[in-house]
Amino acid sequence: MKVLVFGAGVVGTAAAYYLNQAGHEVTVVERNEGAGLETSFANGGIVGAFTSRPWATPEAPRMLLKWLGRSDGPYLFRLRADWAQWSWALKFLRQCTRERFERSQQVSLRLSTYSYGCLQEVRAREQIEYDQRADGVMHLYRTQQQLDQAAAAELADPDPRFHPEVIDMRRTVEIEPALAASAGRYAGALYFPQDESGDAYKFTAALAAAAERQGVDFRYGVALRRLKSEGGRIVAADTDQGRFEADAFVMSVGAFSPLVLKKIGIRVPIYPLKGYSVTIPTAGHHGAPGVAIHEGSRRIVMSRLGERLRAAGTAELTGYDSSISQTRTQAILDVTMALFPECGDAAKAERWAGFRPMTPDCLPILGRTRYDNLYMDTGHGSTGWTYACGSGRVIADMISGKEPEIDLTGLTADRF
């Protein structure tokens, strides 16, 4: 079967890889000049199979109010005359109940652990190197109360596989000595030793290269314009480089998916949440962590990528504005350097911004649409790399007429 995949980020590339493995003739169209150059390019670097949590928590509304109007805070809501923004925000707030959060969390863990297994298989099969580290992820908390509350929430999960180690600062510094300089400012941490980190861009580029060697046709510099439908099916895709025809189509263009889908009458509640990162060179310095870090008070993640330290965070609800805020990137840099003062050369830090394709419940949308040969593999939010391989395997199974290996309840478009 001829399959056309839209988008060569980590999600679309993984789908193309698995479709090729399943024996399909696969073409990928991507508007950039290579794979992984948008959301996948400089993200936080966490593969959080055991720590992935929806952002729509019962505490989220309070956190939004706390930081309202602060240009340097972890959350920023820039009001616009944009119905899609307001509609998405209201749906997000409706998800912030204990019952809905816990339901979404179980769905997230179901997909993330499945996807982690897929990632491990792909990595071993293709011998992909991407500055991967298997040192775990550590969530730091400033006060004992914050630590106790977070621990109680995590340990309430009935599955002990997802329980973290609850550790005081003495043990925290034993695991990650680079924290010694700032240990007095924190009460302790939750440590998830099973999780990993690495460079999502390097992984995506390497996976695309492997897929291309095996026959996937990547068409870079090609921008999707419109899908053409006939009789309840998609028959072609019009691009700025001409028309592409196929038997099946996969939508994996992240935050831009709603802009394409609405032209054929499909509305999906995906909105871009802009995030920022700074990448600090660490060569010649000895104070960068090996363990991936989540700084709880400012919602910033930090991961060691070879001779670089990546720090990422913030959620900015501001539409498709891709500009880089010096204020917000400086806030990330300041938190990072305060935590690890000898980690690297802050003056040479590279600043970046990207769009997280976020749904109100912070879970992706997978599966067939009302057009029976158009599939969605989009809306992965802040955990695209964590979910990518599992999502790609699911889509490949569906297009191949096979039953997916995991339950898709809570992941299909009909939940909205």
Residue 112 has pLDDT above 80, yes or no: yes
Q: How confident is the model at residue 248, as a pLDDT?
A: 99
Residue 272 has pLDDT above 70, yes or no: yes
Q: In the predicted model, what is the mean pLDDT of the chain?
A: 95
Q: How confident is the model at residue 32, as a pLDDT?
A: 98
Q: Between 384-399 and 10-21, two packed helices, what is the crossing angle to 10 degrees?
A: 30
Burial (0-12, 13-18, 19+ Cβ within 10 Å), 368: middle
The average pLDDT across 378-383 equals 96
Q: How far is CA 7 from the centre of its chain?
A: 15
Of 84, 96, 104, give the one whose Cα is nearest residue 273. 84
Query: Of how many residues is the chain composed?
Result: 416
Q: How confident is the model at residue 297, as a pLDDT?
A: 82
The average pLDDT across 104-128 equals 96
- If one compares 81 and 260, the residue with the highest pLDDT of the two is 260
CA distance 7 to 12: 5
C-beta of residue 224 within 8 angstroms of C-beta of residue 29: yes
Of 209, 48, 12, give the one whose Cα is nearest residue 126. 209
Question: Alpha carbon of 147 to those of 268, 283, 362: distances in Å?
Answer: 36, 33, 24
C-beta of residue 143 within 8 angstroms of C-beta of residue 186: no
**The model scores a pTM over 0.85:** yes
Residue 164 has pLDDT above 80, yes or no: yes
DSSP-derived secondary structure letter, 231:
T
Residue 125 has pLDDT above 80, yes or no: yes
In percent, the amount of the chain with pLDDT more than 90 equals 87
C-beta of residue 301 within 8 angstroms of C-beta of residue 49: no
pLDDT tens, position by position, 296-312: 888 899 999 999 999 99
Residue 133 has pLDDT above 90, yes or no: yes
Residue 341 has pLDDT above 90, yes or no: yes
pLDDT tens, position by position, 323-335: 999 999 999 999 9
Q: How many CA atoms lie within 13 A of 322 on its CB side?
A: 7
- Tokens representing 265 are 């009458």
Residue 79's pLDDT band, with cuts at 50, 70 and 90, is confident
**Structural domains for the chain:** 2-40+202-267+362-415 (3.50.50.60), 53-94+131-195+271-358 (3.30.9.10)
- Tokens representing 193 are 């030793």
231: Cβ contacts below 8 Å, ≥ 6 apart: none
Residue 74 has pLDDT above 80, yes or no: no
pLDDT tens, position by position, 220-248: 999 999 999 999 999 999 999 999 999 99
Q: Between 98-126 and 200-213, two packed helices, what is the crossing angle to 10 degrees?
A: 50
The average pLDDT across 62-86 equals 79
Q: How confident is the model at residue 69, as a pLDDT?
A: 67
CA–CA–CA angle 203, 207, 213 (5° rounding) = 150
